[in-house]
Amino acid sequence: MENNLSLNNLTNTNVDLRLNSAVHLSLIEIVLGSLLHSLKFPFTGHMLSLNQAIYLSRLSYAEETRIEATKACLEVSALVAFFKTLSPGGKRLGPMISLFMQGLLFTIGVIIFGRNKLGHGIGLVLLSLWAFFQPILSYLIIFGIDFIPALDYAQTKINKFGIDPKFIIFFILTVYFFKCITGIILLFTTQKWAEEKWGQLDAKIKKLGKHLPLKDKKCTNHFQSYVKELLNPFFILTMVFFVLLLTFQGLSMDEVMIRCLRPMAILTLLFFLRRSSLVKKILSWLESRSKRFEHFMQRVRSGLASLMHEKSMANQEYNDLINTIHSKDYKKILILGNPGSGKSTLAKKLFQDLGFHHIETDNLRWEENQKGKSEKDNFKVSLNKQLKSQSWIIEGNYNLIKNLLPPVDLVIELNLPKWIVLFRLLKRDLGNFMKKPFSQTSDLFWVLRKGLKQSYDKGNLKFKSSINF
């Protein structure tokens, strides 16, 4: 009981950390990022990307596995990118793409090298590249096949100002180098921060959030509550600062009013959506669906893990089978199994490794049927010719050959789970239908009609040994 409680507390703590990190990064991007971008402050994007790397590093250390760390970093990056749409000034689309792509690049280092200094350092180096590649990729998307002429146009502009292209490349590499060095120093410095310092920062953000609009106050009259939100001193101060910022940018009064209406509309929409019973029902329905989906994914992951375990076990069993055949000097092998159990696949693999003659009774019967003579007599004659070899492996329809076989050295019975056999037969029938529609018999239909055999009648068959594979 205590272990379950501690696990739940740990999960809740990680969820709170993700939410806090998303809120912190969103406030920094919306408030500080918009201000610095509006003022054309140099290297603003680079500083914000380093700040994102610090928060992602903290998230990564808090998780227990690489997969959970990757999920946390991607979730927070996606949330911050979404909230960037609420930015009152500056660009939005470019920073939104950058926020998510930088989070994705950071996780590459975590996945490959782990949740340690090396993984976070490599992630920061990859994250820092995006600020330099984003303009190139943007031009590639805009110009398309005319990307090379666009580079020529940029080259003419550079030559017009008398700037040496080599100097530009040197400048970019220098900025990238110092950015990586600065970021690594910040990562290692913040890593030593005690949780108390991070807790103090969280407390400041929560204290700031008490004055934010959209606080869920207990008020029966929604309109009265909405007016109180509009008269919130923090919101009024924010709008005044926003108007001054737009005015200093040289915008007309009409443009200033239009841009001010945007956050007002978002505020109104979010205010009433939070209090809508329909939205609450939709969110509860999505939550129940997400739990079902998570349960389904857990079953899929456990199934894949069992399949991988079975595959490794099958490889070991096959090696043991080869060693048994060599040590016992078996020369005549019979393979039994349901359609789709892998008789032909195993026989072909044994043929490749042992060099024994491979006899497929189904193909042999089909070839004799094409000759137009007595099918039974011709099949018996052809089978006897095939069995004259010193060493052979025979597989196919056991009912055709159980009274025609000479003594065998080894009988291999393939016993697979029913769902694997049915899945293989369905896959086989679909492949045959795509090649020759309506010209192939259905093995799946035959199995569903006849049923899957659990054992075979070997009363008249003489053999030295038998194994289940």
User: What is the predicted pLDDT for the residue at 182?
Assistant: 87
pLDDT digit of tens for each residue in the chain (469 aa)?
333 333 344 455 677 778 778 878 887 887 777 777 767 778 888 888 888 898 888 888 888 888 888 888 888 888 888 887 766 655 667 778 888 888 899 999 888 888 888 888 899 999 988 887 777 666 666 555 556 666 666 667 667 666 777 777 888 888 888 888 988 888 888 776 666 666 666 666 666 555 444 444 455 566 777 777 777 776 777 777 777 777 776 778 888 788 777 777 777 777 777 777 777 777 777 767 766 767 766 766 666 665 555 555 567 788 888 888 888 889 999 998 888 888 888 888 888 888 898 888 877 776 655 555 545 567 778 888 888 888 999 988 887 788 888 889 999 988 877 777 887 788 787 777 667 665 556 777 777 777 776 667 777 788 888 887 7
Amino acid at 422: L
Q: Does the global pTM surpass 0.95?
A: no
SS (H, E, C) 154-182: HHHHHHHCCCCHHHHHHHHHHHHHHHHHH
Among candidate residues 91, 1, 4, the one with its CA nearest the CA of residue 48 = 91
Rounded CA-CA distance 321/333 in Å is 12
User: What is the predicted pLDDT for the residue at 166?
Assistant: 77
Rounded CA-CA distance 341/335 in Å is 10
| Pair 222, 272: CB distance under 8 Å | yes
User: What is the predicted pLDDT for the residue at 2?
Assistant: 34
What would you report as the CA-atom Rg of the chain, rounded to the nearest whole angstrom? 35
Q: DSSP class of residue 356?
A: P
| Pair 125, 109: CB distance under 8 Å | yes
Rounded CA-CA distance 288/306 in Å is 27
User: What is the predicted pLDDT for the residue at 333?
Assistant: 92
Rounded CA-CA distance 370/3 in Å is 69
- C-alpha distances (whole Å) from 339 to each of 63, 301, 358, 453, 457 are 47, 27, 18, 10, 17
Q: Beta-carbon neighbour count of residue 239 at 10 Å? A: 15
Residue 352 has which token pair? Answer: 């490749």
Please give the helix or strand (H or E) that residue 413 lies within, else none. strand 408-413
- C-alpha distances (whole Å) from 420 to each of 60, 406, 423, 430, 445 are 39, 32, 5, 15, 15
User: What is the predicted pLDDT for the residue at 299?
Assistant: 67
CB-count burial class (<10 Å; 0-12, 13-18, 19+) for 387: middle
Rounded CA-CA distance 202/208 in Å is 10
User: What is the predicted pLDDT for the residue at 213?
Assistant: 46
- C-alpha distances (whole Å) from 98 to each of 77, 82, 102, 292, 320 are 9, 12, 6, 33, 54
DSSP per-residue codes, 249-301: TT--HHHHHHHHHHHHHHHHHHHHHHT-HHHHHHHHHHHHHHHHHHHHHHHHH
First to last CA, the chain: 42
- Buried b / exposed e across 432-454, counting CB within 10 Å, b at 16+? eeeeeeeeeeebbeebeeeeebe
